[in-house]
């Protein structure tokens, strides 16, 4: 059967001050009226029922996520004891899924992407699952056709089509890390590269076999965790063994080594919502090019992003290309051109011990 695994452990520091340790990006309603993780679960529709959805997050977010999505079964949200990147996260999820379904196929996805439409996404996931059913050794990923030479995404280089009549599914030649500006332009111009969406479909057994082959030490810890499932010692074993794992991304651990990998050109719209400037792509702007959430009065203000509440008025005068984010206990005012420094603010706050603002 098809299971959905949603990775929800990110901290979303680029979205400070709205994003905090107890309410990171995936729990925020940045784009619509629901949180991003709620949208991710809803997007699955009838493709994957709630009974086969597993959310892997950090331990402090287990209860907030359960509160946001009360229809999830109690065991549908598991908390990692510490952050160890995506490979251990996915390995843990595979072990959990296999406990009840030895033939499980997993659709793995982040919790904080904007995708549309739901129907197109569901059809694409179902098609990828069919490819895995036909050959359980396959690993299927989704590539996003690039629209500009992005330096912040990993890339997938496609090879030959899967079949002579295939026009959207290709064998993967290789994965490429985030490129510099010149390489990104080269990738874009070639027409044979996709952005790596971070969405995968594979057999749970296959992904554990890949980890066993390419990351034996990591697999050893996951195997001990799997053997303890259902026992009174499970949480104790999970804490001990998971903490002992050396963190690594699934791209480094598996995808760059696996041979039977396919890339489907994503038929759905996609945005990874990586920073405040993403909102200008996803929300309509006013007549001056400002993207506004909340109560705002802009005088001589253009090309800016404003986020506040309906009961707190933000007024700007003579501003251009700025970001203003107001919360109950902190306000960010930044130039769009210095947005990458937002994550550094979080580090400085940590260094100063201002935990109440993290």
The confidence band for 339, taking pLDDT boundaries of 50, 70 and 90, is confident
pTM: 0.95
Give residue 78's pLDDT: 97
The confidence band for 125, taking pLDDT boundaries of 50, 70 and 90, is very high
Give residue 165's pLDDT: 75
| 2-271 homologous superfamily | Spore Coat Polysaccharide Biosynthesis Protein SpsA; Chain A (3.90.550.10)
DSSP state at residue 251:
I
Give residue 299's pLDDT: 97
pLDDT (average), residues 121-141: 97
The residue to which tokens 């196929």 are assigned:
105
Q: 203, 309, 235, 325: which is closest to 276 by C-alpha?
A: 325
d(CA 89, CA 253): 12
Give residue 33's pLDDT: 87
* Contacts (Cβ under 8 Å, ≥6 apart) of 34: 42
pLDDT of residue 340 exceeding 90:
no
Give residue 198's pLDDT: 96
The confidence band for 134, taking pLDDT boundaries of 50, 70 and 90, is very high
d(CA 214, CA 119): 36
Q: Which two tokens stand for residue 14?
A: 């680029």
Q: Which two tokens stand for residue 118?
A: 């739901």
pLDDT of residue 314 exceeding 80:
yes
Note whether 26 and 13 are within 8 A (CB): no
d(CA 151, CA 97): 35
pLDDT (average), residues 334-343: 90
d(CA 197, CA 176): 13
The confidence band for 183, taking pLDDT boundaries of 50, 70 and 90, is very high
Rg (Cα) of the chain, in Å, rounded? 21
The domain ranges of the chain are 2-271, 283-357
Give residue 12's pLDDT: 86
d(CA 173, CA 187): 13
């Amino acid at each position: 059967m098809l299971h959905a695994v949603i990775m929800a452990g990110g901290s979303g520091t680029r979205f400070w001050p709205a994003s905090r340790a107890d309410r990171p990006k995936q729990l925020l309603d940045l784009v619509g009226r629901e949180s991003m993780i709620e949208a991710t679960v809803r997007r699955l529709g009838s493709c994957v029922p709630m009974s086969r959805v597993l959310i892997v997050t950090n331990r402090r977010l287990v209860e907030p996520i359960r509160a946001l999505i009360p229809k999830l079964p109690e065991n549908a949200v598991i908390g990692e004891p510490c952050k160890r990147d995506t490979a251990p996260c996915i390995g843990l999820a595979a072990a959990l899924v296999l406990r009840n379904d030895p033939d499980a196929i997993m659709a793995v996805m982040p919790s904080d992407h904007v995708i549309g439409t739901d129907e197109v996404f569901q059809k694409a996931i179902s098609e990828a699952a069919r490819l895995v059913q036909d050959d359980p050794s396959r690993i299927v990923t989704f590539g996003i056709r690039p629209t500009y030479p992005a330096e912040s995404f990993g890339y997938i280089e496609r090879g030959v089509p899967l079949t002579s009549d295939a026009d959207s599914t290709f064998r993967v030649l290789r994965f490429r890390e985030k490129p510099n500006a010149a390489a990104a332009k080269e990738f874009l111009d070639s027409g044979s590269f996709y952005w790596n969406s971070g969405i995968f479909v594979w057999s749970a057994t296959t992904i554990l076999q890949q980890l066993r082959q390419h990351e034996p030490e990591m697999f050893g810890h996951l195997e001990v965790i799997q053997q303890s499932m259902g026992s009174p010692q499970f949480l104790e074993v999970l804490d001990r063994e998971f903490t002992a794992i050396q963190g690594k991304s699934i791209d480094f651990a598996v995808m760059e080594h696996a041979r039977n990998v396919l890339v489907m050109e994503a038929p759905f719209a996609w945005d990874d919502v990586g920073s405040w400037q993403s909102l200008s792509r996803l929300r309509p702007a006013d007549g001056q090019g400002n993207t506004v959430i909340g109560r705002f009065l802009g005088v001589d203000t253009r090309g800016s992003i404003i986020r506040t509440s309906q009961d707190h008025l933000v007024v700007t005068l003579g501003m251009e290309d700025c970001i203003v984010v107001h919360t109950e206990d902190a306000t960010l005012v930044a130039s769009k051109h210095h947005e990458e420094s937002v994550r550094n603010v979080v580090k400085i706050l940590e260094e100063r011990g201002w935990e109440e603002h993290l």
